[in-house]
Chains A and B, each alone.
Chain A
Amino acid sequence: MRARYPDFAGFVDRDGVKVAYDVFGEGATTLLLIPPSPITHSRSWKGQIHHLSQHHRVVTFDGRGNGRSDRPGSAREYTPAEMMEDMVAILDQAEVEKAVLVSHCHAAWWAFLTAATFPERVSGIVAISPGIPFVGDPNQHWTEVAARWKEDPVDPQGWEMCNPAFWRRGGYEDWIRFWFDLLATEPHSTKQVQDMVGWALETDPETMAMANDEETKGATPELADRLCRSVHCPVLVLHGSQDLCQMPGRGRAVAELTGGQFVLIEGAGHLVAGREPVIVNRQISAFVSSIEGRAMKSRTWSRGLSRRRKGLYVSSPIGLGHARRDIAIANELQVLDPDLHIDWLAQPPVTSVLESEGHTIHPASKWLASESAHWASEATGHELNAFQALRRMDEILVANFMIFQEVVDEGNYDLVLSDEAWDIDHFWHENPELKRGSHVWMTDFVGFVPMPDGGEQEAFLTSDYNAEMVEHVARYPRIRDRSVFVGNSADIVPDSLGPGLPSISEWTNEHFNFSGYITGFVPPSADEAAEMRQQFGYEDGQQICLVTVGGSGVGRSLLELVVDAFPYAHKELPDLRMIVVTGPLIEPESLVVPEGVEVVGYLNRLHRHLSACDLAVVQGGLTTTMELTAARRPFLYFPLRNHFEQNRHVRYRLERYQAGRCMQFHESTAEDIALAMVTELSRPIDYLPVETDGASRAARLISELF
């Protein structure tokens, strides 16, 4: 799932070679993002597109040789002149008169060539880690690679693997893996490396060998110098200080020769657009503004003491899970300070709940890229690898952080409340100068834990993510002014954060305050439950079994399995009445059910039904299972396969409460489920009680900040 899909996708065809391009957004200025093909393609701009297309028109393309573009078979089809002609053809076809060219690495050569040849088409150039040969500091490795280019090395190591003969006999992938590992000099860059390797493997060694030779064909020291000096449009050079492909001195020299601005990103490597998306996005935006001639906007500035207290609540948008608890906390905060005004930055389906209860939704919410759609897209059947899904949400997280940051830059918020808003917490630690207001971080679990199916690789990745979090918090304790664990210390799993890292329990106890669990409602008494049953039409003597998978589209396969259990269970339990709630994303009519099973799409205030039923069958999400625990209802829960939170954190907590029966979808037959239903219905309820003061405890912890 991407953060932004193109508004238009097309091809230019030059002499039978098709080159794919995409157009996003609208604006007075157009940006053409140029990937250094063919080692990568347009997806390498995934951290930029959503943000830049909010304000400008953005055009990206897959350079010939990779992505959706053709891979012509002769070297002369990859020359800089061809690349330039492709770009001009794209601008023509997309009816772009003039564009700001944004290039990475050797694509700077093509950008400069275009600006020198067609100055009327280029209004500015952003050159990220520019690969203009002969200018500034050379990279000795590239010189040696060029010298060995025609050789056929025996057992090459390291940079020696950059050799066409080696690639042709199967060494291409080894080179690519070595090289991107090397280039990602920043710790915790696993996702960026994985992305780059993946895109590089979409082309083939033959194409790479041909194109590599042509990238900057014809360049001489004199020509390079002249080309830079002939660029008269504004130039911005961004360069990482640890760049091992293009030396930072080269970027500095390019800026000097072009009269451009040089921005050094200290500590960053060659993959800055991917690894440092926030600073790169903000620099590009500022550069475009300066070209457009920034006009000052009229505005109101409020004196410090004239301001109303304002909070921005960012509620995790993955399903409806956190909406009720966040509303409960917000309501308690307003009891403590009636003057506190809270804006919500939230997405559907949370926004519909907020709107129905009269909360203020910040208008920028509508620009957010959909996280819940991403999660739905990550599920197959009853399986969802939550950790990998979160990693693959990197593009959406950058996009939504950029929107959030614009909101706090202008909103004068005293308080930012983020309930598992990963983007805010992560990028404020990565860009600590951007923090505004006090920040409250809330979560109901700490620590990524690997699933057995993921093997050693997933264990390595989860501990790398945990290590980054631990380092973030250690280096910048000021980013989380308060950390609230929604639960109790005893709920923390007895696992490790990873090799050489503290245990989850030790670290969480040290860094968090505990609010206790927050259901957001008070469970009904026996009398109230009886009244509710009457109201819902649950007749005396009926045993009501509710089957629900929540608000996301994930869970259809569970519904299908559970309804098949009904005939078996019904034999044992003649008074059993099964009601299946499909949720907004599954059509009730599309579900084939045995006779006797009722199907509804939606039940108003589902948690009230759950707290009055006799038995529930649900997924392994924390919110629903804890609602059932608080209401002391029997239930079966099926964690999504490979979902570390449901399988480890939630299950551990429910077992502590002695609540519910955990079942594995992939190992359960309809008969098994029927039997479990019968057993669970007859089990005495000895759950530990769930506190009802969690929201007010959380609010008190938060209110200490103002």
Chain B
Amino acid sequence: MRARYPDHTGRVVRDDISIAYEVYENGGPTIVLLPTWSLFHSRHWKAQIPYLARHFRVVTYDGRGNGQSDRPVDPDAYASQILIADAMAVLDATFTETAFVAGVSMGGSLAAMLAGLYPERVLGAVLIGTSTWLGNETPERNSAAFETRLDRYDGWDKYNMHYWQSNYRDFTEFFVDRIFSEPHSTKQWEDGVGWANETTGEVLVATQLKETLDENREREVLASIRCPILVIHGTGDRIKHYSAAEELAAITGGTLLLIEGGGHCPQGRDPVVVNRAIHNFVELNAPRQEILI
């Protein structure tokens, strides 16, 4: 049972890959809650949808590789250009001319790319626990290379394609534990592990072997962003150190909301503060006639 069901759902098909989207109708501006890494699917926004949908029109979709969408295993199918094109295809398919976008982790970097590349479509972006080249590495993430075959896989060494192919579930349990670093996160952990196991190690390996966005190009796009930006990051994030968020806010001229003691997915673990911040951000930056409180 969900707190709120979509008003309609649909699919866009690109190169035979089908992407499932949901629309929660309302007046006012649209906010697109973007997919994150294929480890999770659109249910990771479950604490945001019912609240935001009371104030705005909300669109979500499952990124390729999980949820109701197809799961290609060819790394080329996960190239960043392709993920950006998926987002634009969903906007078009849902007749969304302009929208706010929000993303978590890899979804945060997707949101930032959309904001930089499509200024005429993106009214503002919320970047949560965003994965970029910026900032310091979290000290604990000093693992062996992703492709190296090891005898044992302890701790961050589990971030390894061979381990995923043989012990995918154990990896997801380990990784989701690092995502929800806040005490008493058992439910969020259970949810996360559940979503992660709706896809496979093989799919996840493909997402990692794709071409990655070059550091200089990323910086260039970030610096070109002109729309309002809200950066949200936990100081206790064990996946991506919060120094990245400070840099991100500085480069984009964005507002920074640091969550002291927060982990990598504050939208799941601290939904109230995140919901209110997103609401406030959209309300302040929406074109005036579109405000509907």
Chain A interface residues (CB < 8 Å from chain B): 294-303, 305-307
Contacts of B261 in A (CB 8 A): 302-303, 305-306
Within the complex, the shortest CB–CB distance from A622 to chain B, in Å, comes to 43
Which of chain A's residues have a CB closer than 8 A to the CB of B257?
298-301
A233 to chain B, nearest CB (A): 14
In whole angstroms, what is the CA distance A307 to B259 when docked? Answer: 11
Within 8 A of A (CB), among B211-246: 230, 235-236
Q: Is B16 an interface residue (CB 8 A)?
A: no
- Map CB proximity to A onto B139-165 as digits: 1 under 8 Å, 0 otherwise: 000000000000000000000000000
Judge whether A296 and B255 touch: CB under 8 Å.
Answer: yes
Q: In the complex the two chains form, what is the Cα distance from A294 to B182 in whole Å?
A: 32
Contact of B256 among A298, A302, A306 (CB under 8 A): A298
Q: Which residues of A contact B273 (CB under 8 A)?
A: 301
The listed residue (A295, A302, A307) touching B255 by CB distance below 8 A is A295
Bound-state Cα–Cα, A302 to B261, Å: 6
B210 to chain A, nearest CB (A): 33
Q: Which residue of B259, B280, B284 is within 8 Å of A303 (Cβ)? A: B259
In the complex, whether B7 has a CB less than 8 A from a CB of chain A is no
CA distance A297 to B260 in the complex (A): 16
Nearest B-chain residue to A290, judged by Cβ? B284
Task: Spell out B's residues near A (CB within 8 Å).
Answer: 182-183, 230, 235-236, 249, 255-262, 270, 273, 280-281, 284
The smallest C-beta distance from A480 to any residue of chain B, in angstroms, reads 28
Which residue of chain B is the closest to A294 with respect to CB atoms? B284
Chain B residues contacting A296 (CB-CB under 8 Å) are 230, 255, 280-281, 284
Give A644 Cβ to nearest chain B Cβ, in Å.
47
Count chain B CB atoms within 10 A of each CB in A294, A296, A302, A307 and give the residue with the most. A296
CA distance A301 to B262 in the complex (A): 9
Nearest 8 interchain pairs by C-beta: A306-B261, A302-B260, A303-B261, A298-B256, A296-B255, A300-B258, A306-B260, A298-B255
Cβ contact within 8 Å between A303 and B262: yes
**Pick from B249, B255, B260, B284: contact of A300, CB under 8 Å:** B260
A303 vs B180: C-alpha distance in the bound complex, in angstroms?
A: 13
Cβ contacts under 8 Å, B183 to chain A = 305
Contacts A299-B256, A301-B260, A306-B261 aside, 4 further interface pairs with beta carbons under 8 A come to: A298-B249, A300-B259, A302-B260, A305-B183
CA distance in complex: A295, B262 (Å) = 24
A46, B242: Cα distance in complex, Å: 46
A639 to chain B, nearest CB (A): 51
Give chain B's interface secondary structure class: mixed
- With both beta carbons as reference points, the residue of chain B lying nearest to A306 in the complex is identified as B261
Q: List 27 A-B contacts (CB under 8 A).
A: A294-B284, A295-B255, A295-B284, A296-B230, A296-B280, A298-B255, A298-B256, A298-B257, A299-B256, A299-B257, A300-B258, A300-B259, A300-B260, A301-B259, A301-B273, A302-B259, A302-B260, A302-B261, A303-B259, A303-B260, A303-B262, A303-B270, A305-B183, A305-B261, A306-B236, A306-B261, A307-B260
* Cβ-closest chain A residue relative to B256: A298
Q: Which residue of A lies closest to B269 (CB)?
A: A303
A306 and B183 alpha carbons, distance in the complex (Å) = 10
> Residue on A with the closest CB to B230?
A296
Least Cβ–Cβ distance between B59 and chain A, in angstroms: 23
Chain B residues in 8 Å Cβ range of A299: 256-258
Using Cβ atoms and an 8 Å threshold, which residues of chain B touch A307? 260
A475 to chain B, nearest CB (A): 29
A301–B260 CA distance with the chains assembled, in angstroms: 6
CB neighbours of B284 from chain A (8 A): 294-296
Q: Which residue of B lies closest to A302 (CB)?
A: B260
Whether B255 lies near A301 (C-beta < 8 A) is no
A297's contact among B182, B235, B255, B258, by CB below 8 Å, is which?
A: B255
Q: Inside 8 A of B270's CB, which chain A residues have their CB?
A: 303
Chain A residues with Cβ under 8 A from B255's Cβ?
A: 295-298
Q: Give complex CA distance A407, B249 in Å.
A: 26
Q: Nearest B residue to A298 by beta-carbon distance?
A: B256
Which B residues are in CB contact (< 8 Å) with A295?
A: 255, 284
Residues of A within 8 A of B280 (CB): 296
Distance (whole angstroms) from the CB of B154 to the closest CB of chain A: 29
Chain A residues in 8 Å Cβ range of B258 = 298-301
- Minimum CB–CB distance for A294 against chain B, Å: 6
Determine the residue in chain A with the shortest Cβ distance to B255.
A296
Cα of A476 to Cα of B171 in the assembled complex, Å: 54
Q: Nearest residue in A to B274 (C-beta to C-beta)?
A: A301
Assembly CA distance A296 to B257 (angstroms): 10
- Chain B: minimal CB distance from A301 (Å): 5
Which residue on chain A has the smallest CB distance to residue B184? A305
Q: How far is the CA of A263 from the CA of B155 in the complex (A)?
A: 58
What's the Cα separation between A295 and B280 when bound, in Å? 10
Contacts of A303 in B (CB 8 A): 182, 259-262, 270
Interchain CA distance A296-B230 in the complex, whole Å: 9
A300 to B284, CA, bound (A): 19
Tell me which residues across on chain B come within 8 A of A298, comparing CB atoms.
249, 255-258
- A305 to B257 Cα, complex, angstroms: 18
**Cα of A300 to Cα of B182 in the assembled complex, Å:** 17
A295 and B273 CA atoms in complex are apart in Å by 18
Q: Which residues of A contact B262 (CB under 8 A)?
A: 303
Tell me the complex Cα distance, A674–B257, Å.
69
CB neighbours of A302 from chain B (8 A) = 259-261
Tell me the bound Cα distance from A161 to B270 in angstroms.
Answer: 63
Cβ of B282 to closest chain A Cβ, rounded Å: 11
How far, in Å, is B98 (CB) from chain A's closest CB?
19
Chain B's nearest CB lies how many Å from the CB of A305? 7
Complex: A307 Cα to B273 Cα, angstroms = 15
Q: Which residues of B contact A300 (CB under 8 A)?
A: 235, 257-260
Cα separation A296 to B256 with both chains bound (whole Å)? 9
CB distance from B270 to the nearest CB of A (A): 6
Determine the chain A residues whose CB is within 8 A of the CB of B259 once the complex forms: 300-303
The answer for the CA separation of A477 and B78 in the assembled complex, in Å, is 61
Could you tell me the distance between the alpha carbons of A305 and B181 in the complex, rounded to whole angstroms? 13
